[in-house]
Structure 1
Amino acid sequence: MNLSILDELQPIAEELQRHMSPHVLEHLAKEKGFVQRKSKYQAQELVALCVWLSQQVASTSLTQLCSCLEVSTGVLISPEGLNQRFNVSAVQFLEQVLANLLTQRIHSTQEIIHQYTTTFKHIRILDSTTFQLPDKFSSHYQGSGGSSHTAGVKIQLEYDLLSGKFLHVYVGEGKENDKTFGSASLQTIQPKDLYIRDLGYFDLHDLQKIHDKGAYYVSRLKLNSRIYRKNDEPEYFQNGTVKKGTLYIQLDTEELMNQLLPGQTMEISEAYIGQYQKLPARVIIHRLTRKQTEKRLKEQAKKEKKKGITYKERSKRLSGINVYITNLSVENVPTEHIHDLYSLRWQIEILFKTWKSFFQIHKCKEIKKERLECHLYGQLISVLLCSSTMFKMRQLLLDKKKKELSEYKSIYMIKNYYLLFYQGLKKNIQELLKVFLRLFYLLDKNGKNLTVTRRKQSLISWVLCMIVRCHRISKLHNFFKNIYLIGLFVMHIFNIVVEI
């Protein structure tokens, strides 16, 4: 066995056992009233069904669930008996398991990655995903409207890209407003955090709060927001008092757009955002290509039809640009890299896609509310454990084997090991450690050497890789400069090889 790799895997196995072992789960279940007397069906069986056995509790029949439970655990229970065990106490128990996992590190080296950059302490990406439910749930989970279903669930997730840690997970009604949750989540702002959010969370007061706390943001700007610059020659009253209405000059966004050719970018370095707020910020305007603009207009037309809304003609004309605002200095992030930095937000959308493709979190039939909630919290626990394990394993592959493996491949391979995790947890730490080592060797076998994959990587992939690897980087400006120089070197070597 590779002792170095075993030493790295030991903390993650210990943390998993600390939070998910049968003894710990049983103790927590008693606290929440889920277990009140001894029976065959205990806390570990509920967790096995909702987390480890890859069962779709909200869409699989009770008979099938009972059959799977008996085959995997030896516990025999009737369909009606199982249905009764999906109760309020079970929901509270699983909710607490998720909360405990969120407040604890899944592996002890999770935060070590922060030493590799002095620019950002965290890269915090917030986004939400919504899915429809059968109409019978509308009294508890009202939908957002605009579809044939009246019920829906919205899951809010804030994710730290540097540590792979889930900072916030919230399950609520589909109709709930993103901006409200975004404002509430700012209670944990820390200096040097970088916030990346989509337009649904846009709020100038929130951005001001982030700036005041010594943190950073990169955000899209709503097209109805006003952009100003300071007037160098304001008007004055006869008594010498400046006329407030002349302190700033509003810029015409359409006029700015028309100054750009498709694919071009411009920056307004000292701008002020908002009619009343006047938030100081850098403004970066990027003109989309014709193909990108056509695609966006098609998406707008589809949205108009689906939700019964109508976009203003000005909004349609401005669909040809992306406007970003940030409080990052140009020394830290040059103009041409703002779009790529904002595009890191797509990493959380990859997570959402895996939720639906691998974990089937959105699949539900007409069942009782408590069973649905057991499914939701069980799948969120599963996603959290899988994401944390994926982060650690990919980091190990990079450090020990100089290999990379996509999130997509990593997740389905890890999920295939869930039954082995469950069996290892029932035995001891040594057995669990053997499972993690087997998993690492599987991922290693399917990984690709960096020398092969880097030529095909996008700048975004470079960002994620170099954050982990380049611990001597002190400024993000130098970071992009290093990428550029290394890229030239690789291209030079590649050309030499081709000539040979």
Structure 2
Amino acid sequence: MITSFEQQDVRINDKLTNNFAKQLERLGCDDLARELGATKRTPRKCSAVNLLVSFMAMISHGRCSYNIWAMFLSQLIDDTISKKAIEKRVNHLLVQLAKGLLEAALKVHHEKIVDPVLFSGFKRVLLHDATHLGLPKYMSHVFPGSKNGHGESAVAKIQAVFEMLTGNFIDIHLGSFRDTDLVDASRANQDVRKDDLVIRDLGYLSLISLDEIISKGASFVNQIRSNWIISRECNGHRIDMLKELTKHKSLDIDVFLGAKNTIKCRLVSVKLGEKAAAERRRKAKMNAHKNRQPSKEKLKLLGYDIFITDVPREKWSSEKVVQVYANRWYIEILFKAWKNGMGIEKDIPNNYLDKDRVELYLYMRMLQIVLLIMPLYHITSRLAFAKGRQISIVSVTKYIIDHICITTLIDSLPKHIERILYYCSYEHRKDRTNHIERLITGSS
């Protein structure tokens, strides 16, 4: 017997279900489900749209179980559905449906989030980065993490490529902690096109990956390790990086990379402030093995940011190179919103015992971000910027999650906009700028 409180707890707002259902319909949810075999051609009780709408309502509600899901679905279609009936539908085909919908949603055009003048001449600006999500330990056979003193751990790894000029994710790939960034760089390079700009960090750096980008007529900006073989001239002597940096403080020189001098590009370096350098050195010591502490030379080199790019000086000064690379903060802020704002890492249910359930949960959470959170963030960011303010995506995410009727919030945006601008804006600080201000103004 369901109590009145439970009935109220599972009641779904009509605007919420109708709006999200319409979004799934526009993405071709039922057609894709039939194509994949994830649903019967003529479902007797519920369509794929209803199944996923009720799942989204459940995870927004914060309690995940087949029983709760069945109650939400029963309320939605005004019929009684057993948890066993839902359990039978949760398999790799439903996971493929959620993944396919996410890929379709990624193609939807959003608002520009950067000044295109900085990136003039590039058709796309691709930020490639990854984030890790801790999972219950018993999932280590599916999403293996690192081995530690407590045995095996379970960690999922989300690789994402974000296109800055449109504000779109163009690729999201779910794997495990042990899937290397180098392998994913080659996978993502298959989608790189002429006149693209690819921005990545150290983990994705290899001569093979850079050569793949260049061969497609695209450009790159990348951090580089100081221990790479770098020469000033083809077949020349290796640069003593610390000596060069100590002598010149900053650099903007032409170099050749690798032992065979296969790639010619610019090397740009800047000296960090004392606080930033000290923090970087502190983290390096903390993360190092007790018997493998960083050398004095490495600690000194941590006081510099070192970049490589094949974009010519006529287009970008060394200051512009640094400003462009700073745009990586944006995708890191998005990851922060996923983990801190939505609580994805903390909210993965402990009773999700198999790969299909975990992957379905993660793909639906990411679909929620792309369809519901990002559009609202773009709208409020544009309105806030016109007033000289910047919106925190973490605060916006929490605001949306706290208001469970998410798409209802978007429908009634005029009523909520002042609250969002007031509660979700970055606090203005005279002593420092926040990350979004750095992206917009180019300040350091």
The interval holding the TM-score normalised by the smaller chain is 0.7 to 0.9
CA distance, structure 2, for counterparts of residue 352 and residue 457 of structure 1: 22
Shift in Å, 1:135: 3.3
Within 5 Å, which residues of 2 pair with 1:66-465?
66-70=70-74, 74=78, 76-102=80-106, 104-106=107-109, 118-146=120-148, 148=150, 149-230=152-233, 247-259=235-247, 265-305=249-289, 311=294, 314-362=297-345, 363-364=347-348, 365-366=350-351, 367-390=353-376, 392-394=378-380, 396-397=382-383, 404-415=390-401, 419=405, 421=407, 436-447=410-421, 458=433, 461=436, 464-465=439-440
CA distance, structure 2, for counterparts of residue 147 and residue 95 of structure 1: 35
- 1:379-427 per-position Cα deviation (integer Å, ceiling 9, x unaligned): 1111221354135414652698776533233333445566353xx7xxx
- 1:269-309 per-position Cα deviation (integer Å, ceiling 9, x unaligned): 22222222342222122233333233222212332259x96
Quote the residue 2:5 is aligned against.
none
- SS of match in other structure, 1:21: helix
8 A contact 2:340–2:394 mirrored in 1 = no
In structure 2, relative to structure 1, the CA distance for the partners of 1:311 and 1:354 (3 Å cut) is same
Q: Which has the higher contact order (CA 8 A, sep 6+)?
A: 1
Q: Please report the TM-score for the alignment, with normalisation by the length of structure 2.
A: 0.80
CA distance, structure 1, for counterparts of residue 120 and residue 216 of structure 2: 17
- 1:108-152 per-position Cα deviation (integer Å, ceiling 9, x unaligned): x77998699633322211111112323332332222445744322
- SS of match in other structure, 2:39: coil
User: Which protein has the bigger helix share?
Assistant: 1
Shift in Å, 1:197: 0.7
- SS of match in other structure, 2:255: strand
8 A contact 2:66–2:87 mirrored in 1 = yes
CA distance, structure 2, for counterparts of residue 298 and residue 112 of structure 1: 33
CA distance, structure 1, for counterparts of residue 20 and residue 46 of structure 2: 22
Seq. identity, %: 22
Within 5 Å, which residues of 2 pair with 1:8-23?
19-21=23-25
Shift in Å, 1:92: 2.1
8 A contact 2:281–2:302 mirrored in 1 = yes
CA distance, structure 2, for counterparts of residue 184 and residue 266 of structure 1: 34
Give the gaps of 5 or more residues in structure 2. 1-17
8 A contact 2:231–2:237 mirrored in 1 = yes
Counterpart amino acid of 1:208? D
CA distance, structure 2, for counterparts of residue 400 and residue 249 of structure 1: 52
Counterpart amino acid of 1:267? L
Task: State whether structure 2 residue 45 is matched by structure 1 residue 45.
Answer: no
- 1:330-376 per-position Cα deviation (integer Å, ceiling 9, x unaligned): 23222234323211101111111111123332233142322112101
CA distance, structure 1, for counterparts of residue 225 and residue 260 of structure 2: 15
- 1:85-121 per-position Cα deviation (integer Å, ceiling 9, x unaligned): 322232122122112223x3255x7799869963332
In structure 2, relative to structure 1, the CA distance for the partners of 1:227 and 1:408 (3 Å cut) is same
8 A contact 1:114–1:162 mirrored in 2 = yes
- SS of match in other structure, 1:270: strand
Give the gaps of 5 or more residues in structure 1. 1-13, 232-246, 425-434, 467-479, 485-500
8 A contact 2:390–2:437 mirrored in 1 = no
For the aligned residues, what is the CA RMSD?
3.8
Q: Which stretch shows the higher mean deviation, 84-93 or 37-46?
A: 37-46
**How many residue pairs align between the two structures?**
419
Quote the residue 1:235 is aligned against.
none
- SS of match in other structure, 2:169: strand
Q: Please report the TM-score for the alignment, with normalisation by the length of structure 1.
A: 0.72
CA distance, structure 1, for counterparts of residue 135 and residue 395 of structure 2: 29
In structure 2, relative to structure 1, the CA distance for the partners of 1:287 and 1:117 (3 Å cut) is closer
- SS of match in other structure, 2:359: helix
